Chains A and B, each alone.
Chain A
């Protein structure tokens, strides 16, 4: 049995990555995720054949990831909001070159330099592109330190499966808080071999190249169509959690930290005779449109709550197809929503 350890979210991601076989980390520190960079420095430097580089910038780091991914290495980088913005060009190139890698974003208040407090203001950036061109990241949204572990491991596997960059989208609070975690024995996911595309010595075979372009528009169109097909297939990976969904008066849709807050709201509401259900998307891309659509028929009101001005809100509205009312409650700037605030909002709606 695996021993439990008390870990900060950021440390837990690092250990999970190593557990998943990641041996290459390139990054540049930024609050509130620097403990991850520091953890990887401490751990990877002791593993033979592993590489840790504190790059000169976020742009350098993502391009180191690009290079390593091209050789078939399990590789990652991490940052927080403004730093993730800097990486976007590289991420788009990696998506075009169809390479797997993990990018972790422990979000902080934005826009701009923003604040160092937790936020969920990068949902659009994470799920709708971020960089240029037709691509999506696979985006996983953990809600506890244990889930940071489990979803980090899963993100590596999904990236390999689809040859597409994946993102773990957390926030500063998840990164800084401590919870007991365990590293369960690794199941060997059935993943495609990298042998037929990874760069390396070409002795005895035709040379290969990995490029993020094709100057012939018809050829590039074919490539974009191929990438598009992957996104269709990715819809099978949808994951979510349903909590207290037995005939609720209202349903909350929230992810990550806010979903955690909403769980306490559910308990508080029960004491006042209000029955609140919660749909918690675990994959933000692919988004769980179907399940939200199904419940839209059964409930009079859906409340979306995020630490933003309302970004996932747009996907929920798309899912609902106008079948029920959708409201929003959010805080920004790094202010964490409290259980009481959400309950007050629910009461206002139900009045």
Chain B
């Protein structure tokens, strides 16, 4: 399995874009060459392309529809993507739109990806509607696999209620993801915890690696007080 093509899929709002952005910034700090592909054809706001300028400054390339088209709600898939997948010598992060509908855009790269190999993660937040328990999560997983024509080979546990997340909530949500992992024998690659919450809690109880997440997709009123 190739480690340098990482695909993020999952339900709407499960945290794919934040994870991809965080991963890209971590990798660039290690001097790796990083490319993010924004494959989101379903969300109109909060897409990784909104971070394009900031990421560019850090040396991360974002592949997304150019110029004004980036602000449109049309299912544009950049012709650059195929070439980027075939390149080597870089870490490629594919940020896919939510649900099976969003994953459909992946199917067009099936012929390339089946040869290159890939890591495809299902990002799970059990506090989102339609992925609240293992039955729902398994349905989501199957629907995404069918529509993308690709196989999910890892789970990312991202249990959170935004700013109201606490240890009890993470523990309860993470257990749901672990149960799914046991049922279908797929590894939980890591547990994602937002930084401010991470700093406050005792995390020794978790067996999986913890991925400390920073929130980059902010709301207009989140502007920090000076």
Q: Interface of A with B (CB < 8 Å)?
A: 4-8, 11, 15, 31-32, 35, 39, 42, 115-117, 172-173, 176-180, 257, 260-261, 263-264, 267-268, 271, 336-340
Interface string of B31-48 (1 = CB under 8 A from A): 000000000000111100
A339 B127 Cβ-Cβ under 8 A? no
**Residues from chain A with Cβ under 8 Å of B164 in the complex:** 4, 180
B65 to chain A, nearest CB (A): 13
B220 A257 Cβ-Cβ under 8 A? yes
**Residues from chain A with Cβ under 8 Å of B162 in the complex:** 6, 178-180
A32-B44 contact given A5-B129, A260-B221, A264-B221, CB 8 Å threshold: yes
The answer to the question of B138 belonging to the interface, with a C-beta cut-off of 8 Å to chain A, is no
B223 A6 Cβ-Cβ under 8 A? no
- Report the separation of the CA atoms of residues A35 and B129 in the bound assembly, to the nearest whole angstrom: 12
**Residues from chain B with Cβ under 8 Å of A42 in the complex:** 130
The answer to the question of B201 belonging to the interface, with a C-beta cut-off of 8 Å to chain A, is no
- Report the separation of the CA atoms of residues A179 and B219 in the bound assembly, to the nearest whole angstrom: 11
- Report the separation of the CA atoms of residues A175 and B86 in the bound assembly, to the nearest whole angstrom: 37
- Report the separation of the CA atoms of residues A117 and B68 in the bound assembly, to the nearest whole angstrom: 13
- Report the separation of the CA atoms of residues A261 and B162 in the bound assembly, to the nearest whole angstrom: 18
Tell me how many residues of B have a C-beta within 8 Å of chain A: 27
Identity of the chain A residue whose Cβ is nearest the Cβ of B72 in the assembled complex: A116
Interface string of B192-226 (1 = CB under 8 A from A): 00000000000000000000000000011111011
Q: Total A-B pairs in contact (CB under 8 Å)?
A: 81
B12 A8 Cβ-Cβ under 8 A? yes
The answer to the question of B149 belonging to the interface, with a C-beta cut-off of 8 Å to chain A, is no
**Residues from chain A with Cβ under 8 Å of B223 in the complex:** 264, 268, 338-340
Interface string of B117-161 (1 = CB under 8 A from A): 000000001011110100000000000000000000000000011
Identity of the chain A residue whose Cβ is nearest the Cβ of B169 in the assembled complex: A4
- Report the separation of the CA atoms of residues A172 and B43 in the bound assembly, to the nearest whole angstrom: 11
A6-B127 contact given A271-B226, A338-B220, CB 8 Å threshold: yes
B43 A177 Cβ-Cβ under 8 A? no
Identity of the chain B residue whose Cβ is nearest the Cβ of A176 in the assembled complex: B45
Identity of the chain B residue whose Cβ is nearest the Cβ of A260 in the assembled complex: B221
Partner among A7, A172, A179 whose Cβ is within 8 Å of the Cβ of B44: A172
A4 B127 Cβ-Cβ under 8 A? yes
**Residues from chain A with Cβ under 8 Å of B222 in the complex:** 264
A116 B71 Cβ-Cβ under 8 A? yes
- Report the separation of the CA atoms of residues A179 and B160 in the bound assembly, to the nearest whole angstrom: 10
The answer to the question of B80 belonging to the interface, with a C-beta cut-off of 8 Å to chain A, is no
**Residues from chain A with Cβ under 8 Å of B44 in the complex:** 31-32, 116, 172, 176
A176 B220 Cβ-Cβ under 8 A? no
**Residues from chain A with Cβ under 8 Å of B13 in the complex:** 6, 8, 178
**Residues from chain B with Cβ under 8 Å of A115 in the complex:** 71
B127 to chain A, nearest CB (A): 5
- Report the separation of the CA atoms of residues A264 and B222 in the bound assembly, to the nearest whole angstrom: 8
* Chain B CB within 10 Å, residue with most, of A39, A180, A260: A180
A267 B160 Cβ-Cβ under 8 A? no
Q: Which 5 A-B residue pairings sit nearest by Cβ, starting from the closest?
A: A31-B73, A180-B161, A176-B45, A264-B221, A336-B220
Partner among A11, A31, A117, A268 whose Cβ is within 8 Å of the Cβ of B226: A268
**Residues from chain B with Cβ under 8 Å of A173 in the complex:** 45, 219-220
Identity of the chain B residue whose Cβ is nearest the Cβ of A115 in the assembled complex: B71
A117-B71 contact given A32-B44, A178-B162, A338-B223, CB 8 Å threshold: yes
- Report the separation of the CA atoms of residues A146 and B91 in the bound assembly, to the nearest whole angstrom: 39
**Residues from chain A with Cβ under 8 Å of B221 in the complex:** 260-261, 263-264, 339
* Chain A CB within 10 Å, residue with most, of B12, B129, B164, B222: B129
- Report the separation of the CA atoms of residues A116 and B220 in the bound assembly, to the nearest whole angstrom: 17
29 pairs, CB–CB < 8 Å, chain A vs chain B: A4-B127, A5-B127, A5-B128, A5-B161, A6-B13, A6-B125, A6-B127, A6-B128, A6-B160, A6-B161, A7-B128, A8-B12, A11-B12, A32-B44, A32-B45, A32-B73, A115-B71, A116-B71, A116-B72, A116-B73, A117-B45, A173-B220, A178-B162, A180-B127, A260-B221, A264-B223, A268-B223, A271-B225, A339-B223
A260 to chain B, nearest CB (A): 5
